[in-house]
Structure 1
């Protein structure tokens, strides 16, 4: 008897090799046990082009309606992709669009496995990156300056107030970029981070570069401190938890020397870069969970890596690939667990737990994809490289034993 669902899970399909794995994960690991009830959106690049990216907006709004979504990796096109896919324009990042609509915080945590040791020898526990998911460079306006002239930053208030600052005097061609953020979004970011730290019972670090960005970054610092002092200080102290702010360059040094086991809150771009650094240092980009949490309590789970283009081109040639699907599996398990928690479906929650346990046990038994073989450190258990499909089948055998126990 398959596990039944009450409310649809918003399913956002994606591109290239991860799209192939997406279907295999459903067929091999999910559909034999769960009667999947999803509202499906195809966010592949051809469909985004066909709908003028309306499909991405529709998917984000469906996430707001139903509360829980799971997303496959998608292509953010560059100039080469525009030519390859014959696009009418360079469509923006689907993740950026979804994050702007949900106005949430992305929490990314490495998946640790017995047998794979972090590159930073002091790290003993996962480091969660809390990334602000609104504004900054992802919603910036840009100008290609064609000639000499003066650039100004101008704000025109509703009451007629005008604020103008000269940015630069150009002696010749150049480039301009205007970024923004909003107090309301920064406040939501701060509260999400404090709440998540309390839920995980972990310290919270926050870092920007306010010594250089004395208004923009400093506003982030001030809002975090005000909300902490007025709303969370007593709660943190009661749990013996610490919140502190430090400059991002100092934070990087502290992170490298730390033992892990804390949440590191960062602005949008900083979080993007540092989550890749942290995940790689812990083992692999394909071994990292990622969940977007909105202030309204909506959740979107996804893999924290790209579409694995190189493997996709091999796949199209009929060549065997050993692509790591773990982050995508954990996106599904995270979304199904949250759907089960929200809808009071303990069997669905238990299935998500079993799926994650079976995945980690498979790797710890020495059966893994190629990216992990080179990282394997256990001498008592030899590492065996499996192709993607065989790896999923190895997980399925353990999952079946757990489900039928």
Structure 2
């Protein structure tokens, strides 16, 4: 039964939490007390191995914290019929902070490899459906990692509305002579028919898509909340000149909510909100120095987030934060996958040079938010220091191979001594962290 299952899940959680809490601490100093728990969602492959190391070296020695642990590794998701994913999302709703490791979303090959009961859905999708909210992707900047767009000195944060439009559309192929109409049946029985197109001599294609006021409203709140938390200006991009009613709805809802609930707070933070045409915004973004949040409709966000990621130089330096419309509930993770290629090497017993920075930042961002919710300045400072330790280590020339390639090119970066192995980089951050924490 599901009750037994959740008991089994939670008993495995408390065992794991106790084991984590008693993990040996290498540094002798007072631990920072964290009043409320965070939810830890473990993952798969190389990132799972790095995840355990991050906790052991960089989190547990410094914090006295209750970690609610959920194993979202694919074998346990399969064992619990994916119930563990749902349980973990409910826990995030309860405690307001989730910190997630990268996970495998199974395809045909993975179903065979893990002998799965079925092809389980993406855990990120499942969690997002339960929490609602918007995913914000933000680059991590290091002075010595060159950017494809050199002018981007500050982060550009993309918030993608991950609901509706093309992703929930009905699209059809139609034969010559066919007519497409859009029919609206209202609940009082009133029917309105809109003529779309008459395909006279040639067939073609047609599509109907939609969005809801409720979803757009939630999206708007998440974006305003996130921009305020960063003290960045917010831009919403649409094509309302062409889609006057459809995109016009996004523009109107954002404006109305801003005027009513956020304008004063933005003014106080010395920042602002503006609507921009998507083509204008794309050009502005490229010319800008960065330092803003960009609210994108579903398809635009899909496309632009990859341009932004590449423009900053590395997916290994990209964080992802799900912010709920209440501004309270947050789930942080790395924007990359489980690094299967490195994991295969690891399985053969070969050393790897895998970049753990985005995974460390999932912890720092989640813990920083916990610190804000709890009014715990010391925890906020710890989270900032952890990020500083990662960045300073890279800026001192100590980095994993992917970043060495960004800086020196493949040939030079592959030479011995040009990069650190995964555990060496983590040790370097550990050392830097100990140093920064004692000088505070």
Length-normalised TM-score, structure 1: 0.85
**Residue of structure 1 equivalent to 2:35:** 6
Q: Deviations over 1:155-175 (max 9, x none)?
A: 6655455667799999xxx99
C-alpha displacement at 1:373, in angstroms?
0.7
**Residue of structure 2 equivalent to 1:17:** 46
Distance 1:341 1:238, change over 3 A: closer
**Residue of structure 2 equivalent to 1:203:** 233
8 A contact 1:109–1:289 mirrored in 2: yes
- Selected match of 2:311 from 264, 281, 302: 281
8 A contact 2:35–2:65 mirrored in 1: no
Residue 328 of structure 1 pairs with residue 362 of structure 2: no
Distance across 2 between alignment mates of 1:70 and 1:155:
43
Higher relative contact order (CA 8 A, sep 6+): 1
SS in 2 for 1:124: coil
Q: 1:168-207 to 2 correspondence within 5 Å?
A: 180-207=210-237
**Residue of structure 1 equivalent to 2:412:** none
Q: Deviations over 1:92-128 (max 9, x none)?
A: 3222222222221222221111212321122222111
**Residue of structure 1 equivalent to 2:274:** 244
C-alpha displacement at 1:236, in angstroms?
4.7
8 A contact 2:324–2:330 mirrored in 1: yes
- Selected match of 2:385 from 349, 354, 357: 354
C-alpha displacement at 1:283, in angstroms?
2.1
Residue 290 of structure 1 pairs with residue 351 of structure 2: no
Residue 342 of structure 1 pairs with residue 401 of structure 2: no
**Residue of structure 2 equivalent to 1:399:** 433
**Residue of structure 2 equivalent to 1:39:** 68
Residue 65 of structure 1 pairs with residue 65 of structure 2: no
Distance 1:28 1:236, change over 3 A: closer
Distance 1:207 1:83, change over 3 A: farther
Length-normalised TM-score, structure 2: 0.79
**Residue of structure 2 equivalent to 1:372:** 403
**Bigger mean CA offset, 186-195 vs 315-324:** 186-195
Q: Deviations over 1:158-197 (max 9, x none)?
A: 5455667799999xxx999875432122112213323433
**Residue of structure 2 equivalent to 1:121:** 150
Distance across 2 between alignment mates of 1:244 and 1:291:
22
**Residue of structure 2 equivalent to 1:319:** 350
Distance across 1 between alignment mates of 2:133 and 2:181:
31
8 A contact 1:206–1:244 mirrored in 2: yes
Question: Across the two proteins, how many residue pairs are aligned to each other?
Answer: 399
Distance 1:179 1:5, change over 3 A: farther
Distance across 1 between alignment mates of 2:37 and 2:430:
24
**Bigger mean CA offset, 394-403 vs 85-94:** 85-94
Please provide the CA RMSD for this pair.
Answer: 3.4
Q: 1:141-152 to 2 correspondence within 5 Å?
A: none
Distance across 1 between alignment mates of 2:261 and 2:277:
23
Distance across 1 between alignment mates of 2:189 and 2:122:
35
**Residue of structure 2 equivalent to 1:263:** 293
8 A contact 2:78–2:117 mirrored in 1: yes
* Larger Rg computed on CA atoms: 2
Q: Deviations over 1:25-44 (max 9, x none)?
A: 11121222223421111222
Distance across 2 between alignment mates of 1:143 and 1:85:
35
Distance 1:178 1:331, change over 3 A: farther
Q: Deviations over 1:43-97 (max 9, x none)?
A: 2223333333222222111111111110111222334333433444433322222
